[in-house]
Amino acid sequence: MKGIARNLLLVASIVLGFLALSVKAADSGVDGRWDATLTIDKTVIPFRLDISGDGSNLTGTLYNGDEKQTTTSAKLENGSVVLNFDHYLTKITATEKDGKLDGKVEGRFERDQYITEYPLHAERYSRKAISAKNVPSIDGLWEIEYDSPKGEKAWRFVVRQSGPEASASILRIDGDTGALVGTYQDGKFVLSHFDGSRPLVAEVTPTKEGTLEIRLEGAYTPSDKLIGYRPDVARAKGLPEPSNFTTHTTVRDVNERFSFKFPDVDGKLVSSDDPKFRGKVILAIVTGTWCPNCHDEAQYLVQLYPKYHDKGLEIVALDFEEPEQQGTYARERAFVKQYHVPYTYLIAGAPAEMWEKVPQAVNLNTWPATIFIGRDGRVKLIHSGFAAPASGQFNSQLKDEFTSTIEKLLSEPESRATASASQPTGR
């Protein structure tokens, strides 16, 4: 009887321990939706943060418009909530007090910076009344005149508006800013974004001339005020058009077979000459897990791959990781796991080695770049950048382009393409 009593006491203590953990999580007050901000160089960037679950099953969620980024791991530790987004190398640590969260965001958000800490503050989400009177319409497509180091002369500014609420994105040749979300207040739209990366706030002021004044603050932002024009106005003024995604990067010799030979994360060498790739249509993705637009593309490719893989499509990521990441590849491993990447992922080198490691491409300067390779091993098209869902119609156009190009290349008979690929290219 004494032995049974001891066992019952042991079981009871274990159960009470689990109950205490759950109670502690519930009592911590972190569960729910938060209006959060992080501060970069005195710039306050609002964002939405959701926390759900308990101490043994906690999840944090950030948002890119309607797209979600969830934690790779999360926990309650010493009274603080710790939210890890390892696929971005971003961590949020905060403590709740009097219905507020205070803490820090750790991440790499500024040029030439390593992991840095930024102040975090959050208050319980509350639906605020927004006046819908006298709200100007900025919905639709705009163009911003801008000379970028990549040779661009203009960017696109894509806006979706519903009364005083708006979601917008600046689309460059390499991709977009993510969804900038906010409202109209005091004569301007205040829009912001943070999904674990690219923290940004934009003040968009409609002018009496029919243009937009756009001021950006946060990470990787131009210091000067930007001016947005409707496309027809930009053409009438003689302003240059934004760069073409399919002609920005070209190939040095259309008759040259595209080749690669790089190790995977475990050190195994993988080559374009391997049977897995021979006679297949290949998408070779120049990418890096430090690049937010590469995260956007990977989530699309994960959906695309199973649709066409059995028909002869292979996807291979040529991943260029920062030197400090090449010891453990922790971010790359988390990236592949978080997005359930089913296609081949190779470590091609450091970003500065891209031009040496991918010499067939001319004017290759975007992250990502998608190289479409036919069954004959030759490059048929290079698409620069990735227009994500935040880019609206341009995301739809990209998907149409990708699928139509893939289907066209797959329609080429394999035997004919394979025979062509075996012929000498004059190299």
For every residue of 274-313, DSSP letters joined together read STTTTT-EEEEEEE-TT-HHHHHHHHHHHHHHHHHGGGTE
Quick check: 8 pLDDT over 70? no
Contact criterion met (CB below 8 Å) for 36 and 121:
yes
Contact criterion met (CB below 8 Å) for 121 and 113:
no
Which pTM was predicted? 0.89
Q: Which two tokens stand for residue 204?
A: 């968009």
Quick check: 297 pLDDT over 80? yes
Give the C-alpha separation, 70 to 65, whole Å: 14
The mean per-residue pLDDT over the stretch 290-312 comes to: 97
- Supply the pLDDT for residue 126: 87
- Phi then psi for 25, rounded to 5 degrees? -65, -45
Give the C-alpha separation, 317 to 336, whole Å: 11
Residue keyed to tokens 């009470």: 16
- Supply the pLDDT for residue 14: 39
- Supply the pLDDT for residue 18: 40
Q: What is the pLDDT of residues 104-122, one digit of tens each?
A: 999 998 765 788 999 999 9
Q: What is the pLDDT of residues 57-106, one digit of tens each?
A: 899 999 999 999 999 999 998 889 999 999 999 999 999 999 999 999 99
Confidence bin at 171 (pLDDT 50/70/90): very high
Amino acid at 265: V
Give the C-alpha separation, 280 to 276, whole Å: 8
Quick check: 415 pLDDT over 60? no
The mean per-residue pLDDT over the stretch 172-196 comes to: 96
Confidence bin at 127 (pLDDT 50/70/90): confident
- Supply the pLDDT for residue 112: 59
Domains of the chain by range and CATH?
Answer: 23-124 (2.40.160.90), 140-236 (2.40.128.120), 250-421 (3.40.30.10)
Give the C-alpha separation, 274 to 286, whole Å: 19
